[in-house]
Amino acid sequence: MKSLATPNPPTSSLIRRRPNLPVLLLVSRQTRRCPIRTRPLRVSCNHRSNDNGHQAEQKPQQQQQQQQRKAYPFEEIEPRWQRYWEENSTFRTPDDVDTSKPKFYVLDMFPYPSGAGLHVGHPLGYTATDILSRYKRMQGFNVLHPMGWDAFGLPAEQYAIEVCFAFYCGTHPKVTTMRNIERFRSQLKSLGFSYDWDREISTTEPNYYKWTQWIFLQLLKRGLAYQAEVPVNWCPALGTVLANEEVIDGLSERGGHPVLRKQPMRQWMLKITAYADRLLEDLDDLNWPESIKEMQRNWIGRSEGAEIQFHVLGSDGKDHDVKLSVYTTRPDTIFGATYLVVAPEHSSLSSLVSEPQRRCVEEYVELASRKSDLERTELQKEKTGVFSGSYTRNPASGESIPIWVADYVLGSYGTGAIMAVPAHDSRDHEFAVKYGIPVCTVVTPVDGSRNDLGEPYLGDGVIINSSNLNAGLNINGLFCKDAASNVIHWAESTGHGKKKVNYKLRDWLFARQRYWGEPFPVIFLDDTGERVALPESELPVTLPELDDFTPTGTGEPPLAKAVSWVKTVDPSSGKPATRETNTMPQWAGSCWYYLRFMDPKNSESLVDKEKEKYWSPVDIYIGGAEHSVLHLLYARFWHKVLFDIGVVSTEEPFQCLINQGIILGQVMRSGDYYVLKDNPSIRLTARAHKMSKSRGNVINPDDVVSEFGADSLRLYEMFMGPLRDSKTWSTSGIEGVHRFLGRVWRLIVGSPLHTGLYKDGTVSVDEQPNFEQLRFLHKCIAKVTEEIEGTRFNTGISAMMEFTNAAYKWENLPKSIVEPFVLLLSPFAPHMAEELWFRLGHSSTLAYEPFPKAKDEYLKDTSIVLPVQINGKMRGTILVDEVCSEDEAFRIASEDEKLSKYIDGLTIKKRIYVPGRILNVILEQQKVGKR
């Protein structure tokens, strides 16, 4: 067996050699030997580091407070075990695993490495995945638990621009990104997460985004990537267009900047709509939160209806060749259409507007461009519009009806035009009443109960007022569903329309006018303008170095500044060509990163087929609900394309999804308002606020680890409440968890010496446990196992607290009880557990020790109430097991607060014990009299 080098010993202030402790050589990860500790642990250190990394003397009062708050010597334990795990690659998943063993792929949504670093909200999901990873390793699974960085895109680039350019340093995004990654990695390692750091990836590395570009080429080959002139969401502050999914309430998802609707620009699009039905149907089989599945269903927005053609009328009132297509889910109400509405961005709007109305329409279109889609379609919003000056003919009724322009209709939905039926649609009714447009009722309830025309009737019923023999259509007396079918048949047979399935989902706008992103592997021939996809041998197309990478603000991408890079030649023909200067959005790299973790160093393919087949799909994926229609929808789309071309073996990437809750900043009441506890000058609009740097309520995990230790932070984040719920941070809460870990430490190690040091080893004894001890242990094992499996980590911790409380009452602590308990604790508090395992005499890490299994014989509730007599007189009862021994029953009675006063200090003559019936303690009579 090949040996590894002995690790660097801890600093001399923390360690000294003791001749009576044998030196353990570190060997390969198969044996996973433990690090050396050659002196008793201290309760606390006498120094601390200041912000500059220098040692600062503490005042006596500070030392005393620090010693009181530190319930166990975590500041020595945790760095030692983190160093050991790293030096021995304890959590490395081999490239070639034993595929006969079960696998468990648990994944975090990898972070944007921002300059602010982590706050205590970030480790919530990371701790959950780490507990599951450690638990599954101990169950014999091959575990894949990787970490990487979503480092391209707006967050990293905007940080470089806003922070670095503010100080005139002009630091390149690559430099700031690498610096931020180093900080994030250091923070994550300080929390003891069992990531396989050998698989670390970053979306900004050329050997990674080579394959992002390769996927784009496959999309291009299959017609799923194309260029089109489309209206776009333009963010002036960010200097780029944004996809619909990146605009929230009229503001950019990144940074919260105002977003305008801009006239068509030539953009790269991905045809996600081609996969709309599969994206919708396959949701049913996923173990995802129903709320997330419903959000995707609504975003895809599948509906069935009809596309109807309306002829535009000329000034002479006759039909012209110009037609308007409208999409409707209620073709049965066509006779009730009293006007048409086109969206302000409709492609034919200019030709529809009469000259007298042109100025009014143009002003209205400009105002509408400043609103988000959500603002325009909000039901509570007052409807606005302007008459186009033109008319159309209702093909069913034959009547001339006006064409209006209104922003409650979106150009991105359906055809960008609707037939308005004010008698049976709330928005249409409100608009018609406001502008004096006729209302024609064409649906009445089956029972004929409705006669109030003051409000629109939205339900089903029987069709009325819907007949035109000249048009060849009569649907009077039909139920709505039958009438709709008849109208569709009539439209198709007369050329007035057709049956249509529609989606709210739009094709993915895939180009960004920013620098920090993946270049497109596409060039344009200078002489013809022909688009040419670069051959795969030319990948990766790397980013050029730019001193000025700020957005131009005009729509011209920053890459256009790299003139020598932009001008190139076609590798096939040798003709002069120009590179595409847009870059891909940040979502590109995150669409497939989970696949690269399976095979991160493969230079020949995106992922090895056998490795992908073994590891796919991701078993548990944990992250925030804010990615429901961004990353999660995009990743599912790309995965299905990769499935279709044979790269992956599953139809879906993530089998189980868990959304962790958010950690809220701690608040307090100040008069009539709530304010941040740590910064009362900040007044809140609600009692609970998500942690955010901008709100000033961020708690740095580094500070928490320094004061309480990483295990305390991990345990507290899991103990705050159910994983999926939001919680409020409480400093007193983490103090309580820290005290619990201190109790566990003292229970097993013992109290410190007067010097502040702890003895070697533990206070456990090599004795057989009694039935009560075994019962408490196995009930704890059963509960912790059940709660880990159900991701109810808070109640699993409660079970360990109950065990600890019970163990403190025992006269001795059998080693065979302690060891399983330490293994139960290890997924939650791995540093302390490793230290205790070592003190119990083990020479290898517990990371791969079998997780304890509960035995049924100790789980049965066999407790009975046993009456206790003193000299034949009933004095009370005790709770014992039905097979309890006489000695055990007497011990429990003598420890009972009520019964002990009759026994303490007196001579026992004899004991009479009938199992399950009674315990009678006979005392010396004379002593009873004195008592």
**548-561 tens-digit pLDDT:** 887 776 778 999 99
pLDDT of 694 above 70? no
**22-47 tens-digit pLDDT:** 333 233 333 344 454 444 565 443 33
Which residues partner with 241 through β-bridges? 234
CA distances from 712 to 78, 715, 740 (A): 11, 5, 9
Using alpha carbons, select from 281, 315, 285 the residue that is nearest to residue 300.
281
Other CB atoms within 10 A of residue 699 CB: 18
| Cα–Cα distance, 117 to 377 (Å, whole number) | 38
pLDDT of 681 above 60? no
Token pair for 839: 């003190």
The single residue listed with the structure tokens 């041998």 is 537
Strand order across the 225-235 sheet: 240-242, 225-235, 260-270, 508-509
Q: Are 795 and 747 in contact (CB under 8 A)?
A: no
| Cα–Cα distance, 796 to 814 (Å, whole number) | 22
Write the burial class of residue 253 (CB in 10 Å: 0-12 exposed, 13-18 middle, 19+ buried): middle
| Cα–Cα distance, 583 to 520 (Å, whole number) | 6
| Cα–Cα distance, 456 to 453 (Å, whole number) | 7
**795-842 tens-digit pLDDT:** 999 999 999 999 999 999 999 999 999 999 999 999 999 999 999 999
Q: What is residue 163's predicted lDDT score, i.e. its pLDDT? A: 61
Token pair for 773: 């001890």
Q: Are 117 and 111 in contact (CB under 8 A)?
A: no
pLDDT of 2 above 50? no
**838-850 tens-digit pLDDT:** 999 999 999 999 9
CA 684 to chain centre: 25
SS3 assignment, position 796: helix
pLDDT interval class at 121 (50, 70, 90): confident
Q: What is residue 12's predicted lDDT score, i.e. its pLDDT? A: 29
Q: Could you give the angle at which helices 123-138 and 771-789 cross, rounded to 10 degrees?
A: 120
Token pair for 125: 């999901």
Cis peptide before 540 (omega within 30 of 0): yes
Q: What is residue 166's predicted lDDT score, i.e. its pLDDT? A: 47
| Cα–Cα distance, 662 to 657 (Å, whole number) | 16
**244-279 tens-digit pLDDT:** 777 877 788 777 888 877 767 889 999 999 999 999
| Helix (H), strand (E) at residue 755 | none
The single residue listed with the structure tokens 């097991």 is 881
pLDDT interval class at 882 (50, 70, 90): confident
Q: Which residue has the higher pLDDT, 374 or 675?
A: 374
| Cα–Cα distance, 565 to 558 (Å, whole number) | 12
**906-930 tens-digit pLDDT:** 889 999 999 989 999 999 875 444 4
Residues whose CB is less than 8 angstroms from the CB of residue 433 and which lie 6 or more positions away in sequence, other chains included: 422, 439
DSSP string for residues in 235-267: ETTTTEEE-GGGEETTEETTT--B-EEEEEEEE
**846-872 tens-digit pLDDT:** 999 999 999 988 887 777 889 999 999
